[in-house]
Amino acid sequence: MFTKLYERLYVKVLVSIITGYKKTTVYIEILNKSGILNSYEEEFDTKYVSIEMYEYIMSYTKETPYFYISILDSSPSQGAIGTCSKHKVGYFEDLSASEYKCYKDRWTYYTAKTDVYAIEKVYEKIGVDFIFSPFVLLANFFKDKIDTHLAMFILIQEGSLALSVFNKSELLYANYLDMEIEIASDELLIDDNDIAQIEKEMQESIDLDDIASLDDLDEIDDNFGDIADLDSIDELDDFDEAKDIEEELAENEDMQDYSTRNTESINEDYKRFSLIQSAVNIFYKDEKFESEFIENVYIGDGVGVSGDLKKYLEEEMFLNVYVRHVDLASELCAITKMDLA
């Protein structure tokens, strides 16, 4: 009774943190019982808690005891497995050194205990209430497609990709791809001559007129238990079934002029393509996975990739590619609200 009374006296502040290898995005929503009062977003050129970031977050949380801090997990040693059975999990991955949870009695997502500890240490000054798996965010964002389609689903973050294959809500395969770790060879990069050739081919093949407008590791088990249990998340509203067509139009509207593309940007897309191609090969060849032929791929674009990645996937892997822009910080905040409800 008293808790409900206090909640009416104070606003609720939700802090969502998205980290990359170059920057950190902090998104803040201020809510009362009627809904969202205000929202704010700021980017910081660091992957750690700087003084500026700390002061920014504290300026919103200091006025209320009801604030919650959520982080999208970007740990390299994470993933997802298509079962919740403790007897079957070990067949796919040794999780003895990981924290893991079952998602809606369908599949398991996990993170190394040392990575959970590292996150808690980095953010110990501000505290961490929830650590959400990118596979959970991906599953909620593409729920309308995952429940009814056989397809590959990819969430693109700065410096990483969360890749999964679902067959009507059954997880067949998942792989978290860290671009810094996985791309260790110059063989996957392209030089200036290659880029010039790619740009020439793109310009010749595209008619622009056709483009539409823890203090201790031993304590991790207890602490992780307080981190978001997403089994209770309610279902999100379905996307319009005509979304595929809208997505294709949006992709064309957002495509950049290829003549202005730089070496770094093209190499980023090529890295992503190479990682996706390698992951798909594992899915097809590894007997552990019930491989199905993939025709469609849905991409949740959280960084603003160009048409290069789509072109690589369509021309080299013969995939039908659909891209949706995803505001990672906003989606993370939405998941937090569902978990708190």
Query: Domain residue spans in the chain?
Result: 78-213+217-340
Distance CA 92, CA 77 (A): 14
pLDDT over threshold 50, residue 237: no
DSSP assigned state of 35: E
SS3 297: strand
Fold that domain 78-213+217-340 belongs to in CATH: Nucleotidyltransferase; domain 5 (3.30.420)
Band of pLDDT at residue 96, cut at 50, 70 and 90: very high
Q: What is the pLDDT of residues 168-210, one digit of tens each?
A: 999 999 999 999 875 444 434 444 454 455 445 445 544 444 4
**CA-wise closest residue to 176 among 188, 160, 165:** 160
In DSSP notation, 88-104 reads HHHHH---TTEEEEEET
State the chain's mean pLDDT as an integer. Answer: 82
**Mean pLDDT confidence for 96-116:** 96
Q: Evaluate whether 67 touches 14 at the Cβ level (below 8 Å).
A: yes
**Straight-line distance from the first to the last Cα atom of the chain, in angstroms, rounded to the nearest whole number:** 17
Band of pLDDT at residue 267, cut at 50, 70 and 90: confident
Q: Evaluate whether 149 touches 156 at the Cβ level (below 8 Å).
A: no
SS3 130: strand
In DSSP notation, 190-258 reads --HHHHHHHHHHHHHH--GGGS----SGGGHHHHHHHS--GGGPPPPPPPPTTHHHHHHHHHHHHPPPG
pLDDT over threshold 50, residue 257: no
**Mean pLDDT confidence for 91-119:** 96
Alpha helices in the chain (DSSP H): 2-9, 51-61, 86-92, 113-122, 134-141, 143-146, 179-182, 192-205, 220-226, 243-254, 263-285, 307-317, 328-340
